[in-house]
């Protein structure tokens, strides 16, 4: 193992990790990023949203460039999830220690390493006197938290300011095992339903004097019990629905309960919308309630709508940059959980590509130092306009 000095991007990742920025604490991470970006000629605006304990610090940076070239935005977050069992870490979670070619610390993968790579890419282009178009960075301190006072408000602010990038690249870790595997060009939506069914309580030996809510609840939940809701489409796998909770409050061995509860979550693609799913299920619930002659209440929670960026010249350029550096053909994927890309897609076309995500949110989070340099090269290849 060679003991060469770490690259600028690796060193910046290390310094960002050393800022203990567990949501909602800024921890010095945005201050550090601001100072670096100002050094590269960016105009930086700090935007705090929310009050009291919910107040979140965010950052927007922009640098003008060749008007004939597209405006590329980079989006990410400097906040990190809590460290978990600190004693179980082999190196301190905010140490930024490099050991055997790996950089350790909370946020190494998700996603301080990605931010450092993007800034490193700008530095590399500047050092080589390569012209760029307008570049901006949309950085929140609220991705791992409630996500209320972060990207969603930054997007509103950018629209008000009339700042609309041509394309936004999100630096979340997208690669399952090695660099260059996966670009995310969309995400599924998420809809939760909480369903209460009310019947009539009674003695279990005299069911004709009661109305058990459980058979009705099970009939109502049947379409969302480990079900595939469609056949998928060109960009998405089939939508899926899973029951995640079942309860009979105050259950007793000789009592037919009067209430039963079930909760489910649907991960849905662009074949559906929040309204179409709620309409379909509400109709089904009402039909079952009529059949079993009892009442129900349902509470809906939708925190993500599905979106997709169909392959375009930008995703193509990103794939070319990935192939040039890694030799790999990256897949476009819409799998996985939600991300802030669900808000950014209302601003401009968006895709996500970053580091290897294997250790994100885990004890001993780390990335290969080489991967940060690889990502820096990919980002600079993407930003380079020939
Ligand atoms: Zn993240």
Structure tokens at 141: 């301190």
Q: Out of 26, 57, 79, 377, which one is annotated catalytic?
A: 79
Q: Out of 143, 340, 352, 365, which one is annotated catalytic?
A: 143
Whole-angstrom Cα distance, residue 296 to residue 195? 7
Whole-angstrom Cα distance, residue 234 to residue 222? 27
Whole-angstrom Cα distance, residue 293 to residue 9? 65
Domain boundaries, the chain: 8-187+306-383, 189-304
For residue 337, the model assigns a pLDDT of 86
Whole-angstrom Cα distance, residue 129 to residue 305? 41
For residue 147, the model assigns a pLDDT of 85
Confirm or reject CATH 3.40.50.300 for domain 189-304, answering yes or no: no
For residue 53, the model assigns a pLDDT of 86
Q: How far is the CA of 284 from the centre of ligand 1 (A)?
A: 37
For residue 4, the model assigns a pLDDT of 78
Q: How far is the CA of 55 from the centre of ligand 1 (A)?
A: 19
Whole-angstrom Cα distance, residue 337 to residue 306? 11
Q: Model pTM greater than 0.85?
A: yes
For residue 162, the model assigns a pLDDT of 97
Q: How far is the CA of 282 from the centre of ligand 1 (A)?
A: 34
Q: How far is the CA of 83 from the centre of ligand 1 (A)?
A: 14
Q: Where are the beta strands (DSSP E) in the chain?
A: 43-49, 56-63, 72-77, 98-99, 102-104, 135-140, 167-170, 182-184, 186-187, 189-198, 202-203, 227-228, 240-247, 255-256, 259-268, 295-304, 307-308, 331-333, 350-352, 366-368
User: Annotated catalytic, 85?
Assistant: no
Q: How far is the CA of 213 from the centre of ligand 1 (A)?
A: 42
pLDDT digits (tens, 9 = 90+) for 342-382: 999 999 999 999 999 999 999 999 999 999 999 999 999 99
Structure tokens at 351: 């895709």
Q: How far is the CA of 173 from the centre of ligand 1 (A)?
A: 7
Confirm or reject CATH 3.40.630.10 for domain 8-187+306-383, answering yes or no: yes
User: Annotated catalytic, 79?
Assistant: yes
Contact 363, 84 (CB under 8 A): yes
Q: Which residues of the chain are under the pLDDT cut of 70?
A: 1-3, 385-386
Contact 190, 265 (CB under 8 A): yes
Q: How far is the CA of 206 from the centre of ligand 1 (A)?
A: 55
Q: How far is the CA of 131 from the centre of ligand 1 (A)?
A: 30
């Amino acid at each position: 193992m060679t003991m060469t000095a770490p690259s600028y991007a690796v060193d910046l990742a290390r310094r960002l990790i050393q800022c203990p920025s567990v949501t909602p604490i800024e921890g010095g991470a945005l201050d550090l990023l601001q100072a670096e970006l100002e050094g590269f000629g960016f105009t930086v605006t700090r935007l705090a949203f929310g009050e009291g304990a919910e107040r979140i610090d965010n950052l927007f940076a922009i640098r003008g460039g060749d008007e004939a070239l597209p405006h590329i935005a980079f989006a990410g977050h400097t906040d990190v999830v809590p460290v978990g069992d600190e004693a179980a870490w082999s190196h301190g979670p905010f140490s930024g220690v490099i050991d055997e070619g790996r950089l350790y610390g909370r946020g190494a993968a998700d996603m301080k390493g990605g931010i450092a790579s993007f800034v490193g890419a700008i530095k590399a282009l500047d050092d080589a006197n390569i012209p760029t178009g307008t570049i901006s960075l949309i950085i929140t301190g609220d991705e791992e938290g409630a996500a209320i006072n972060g990207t969603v408000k930054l997007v509103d602010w950018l629209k008000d300011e009339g700042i609309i990038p041509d394309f936004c690249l999100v630096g979340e870790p997208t690669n399952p095992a090695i660099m260059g595997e996966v670009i995310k060009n969309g995400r599924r939506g998420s809809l939760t339903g909480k369903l209460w069914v009310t019947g009539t309580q009674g003695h279990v030996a005299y069911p004709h004097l009661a109305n058990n809510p459980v058979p009705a609840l099970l009939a109502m939940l049947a379409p969302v019990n480990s079900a595939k809701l469609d056949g998928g489409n060109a960009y998405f796998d089939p939508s899926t629905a899973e029951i995640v909770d079942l309860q009979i409050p105050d259950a007793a061995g000789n009592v037919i309960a009067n209430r039963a509860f079930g909760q489910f979550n649907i991960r849905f693609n662009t074949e559906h919308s929040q309204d179409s799913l709620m309409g379909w299920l509400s109709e089904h619930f009402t039909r079952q309630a009529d059949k079993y002659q009892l009442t129900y209440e349902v509470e809906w929670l939708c925190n993500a709508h599905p979106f997709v960026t169909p392959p375009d010249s930008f995703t193509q350029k990103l794939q070319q940059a990935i192939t040039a550096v890694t030799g790999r053909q990256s897949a476009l994927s819409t799998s996985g959980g939600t991300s802030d890309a669900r808000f950014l897609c209302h601003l401009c076309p968006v895709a996500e590509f970053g580091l290897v995500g294997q250790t994100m949110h885990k004890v001993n989070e780390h990335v290969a130092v080489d991967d940060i340099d690889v990502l820096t090269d990919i980002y600079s290849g993407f930003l380079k306009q020939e």
